Amino acid sequence: MNEDRRALTSVLEAGALDRDHLSVHSISPYDRTLARVRADRARIVSEFRSSVNMSKAEIAAWLDTDVSHSVGWRRGPHEESVGHQSGRRILQILKTPESRLTDEDLLHMRTVLGFIRRHLAQRPRNDNAESKWACSLKNWGRDPSRTRRMARTMK
C-alpha cells in the first residue's frame, strides 16, 4: 500500500487527478505504473545505460543482419519479432538526450531491463555467440559475450 500512496502523491503532484479523487483505488493501473516510473526515473536511466552494453552503431549494425531478423517471438508469422522492434526503439532512446526522454521512453526502458534480467538468469549452460538466446539478447541491446569477457579481464 505504501507504493500506492507514493504513486497517488506523484499523480496528484503531476496534476493528473484533482483533489476530489483521493482514493488510491480510483487510479488506473497504468497511472500507478507511470507514477512509479517517474519516481524511479534516475534509477531506470542508470540501469538502462549499464544493462544495454552495445553502442548505437553496434545495435544498428546488428539489427541489419539476417540473424537478428530470424530470432525472437512474433505476434504473427510474417511480422517483425518483438525483440527486433525493441532494438529499433532502444536506438531511438539512446539517441535522445536524457532530459528529453518521455514517459513512454521510460516505460520501454523498464521493459528492456526486465527482459535483460530474465534472460540473463536463464543463461544456457552451453551458450555461444550464435545461440538463439544470445542473438535474442543482442536484439535488446545486450551482448552476453561482452559480459563474460569483461568478467574475465576483471579477475
Q: What is the pLDDT of residue 155?
A: 36
Residues 25 and 48 in one domain: no
Q: Give the contacts of 74 (CB within 8 A, at least 6 positions apart).
A: 80, 81, 82
CA–CA distances in Å: residue 137 to residues 1, 4, 60, 66, 143: 34, 32, 14, 15, 6
Q: What is the pLDDT of residue 124?
A: 87
Residues 26 and 48 in one domain: no
Domain that holds residue 22: 1-39
Q: What is the pLDDT of residue 149?
A: 44
pLDDT tens track of the chain, all 155 residues? 566 566 656 656 665 555 555 555 577 888 888 888 889 999 999 999 999 999 999 999 999 999 998 888 888 888 888 889 999 999 999 999 999 999 999 999 999 999 999 999 998 887 777 888 999 999 999 999 886 544 333 33
In which residue are the cell numbers 524511479 written? 40
Residues 122 and 48 in one domain: yes
Q: How many CB atoms lie within 10 A of CB 72?
A: 19
Residues 51 and 19 in one domain: no
Domains identified in the chain, total number: 2
Q: Give the contacts of 106 (CB within 8 A, at least 6 positions apart).
A: 37, 38, 41, 44, 45
Q: What is the pLDDT of residue 151?
A: 39
The per-residue DSSP string of 22-91 comes to: --GGGS-HHHHHHHHHHHTHHHHHHHHHHH--S-HHHHHHHHTSHHHHHSS--SSTTSPPHHHHHHHHHH
Residues 128 and 65 in one domain: yes
Q: What is the pLDDT of residue 62?
A: 95
Q: How far apart are the C-alpha atoms of 127 and 130, rounded to whole Å? A: 8
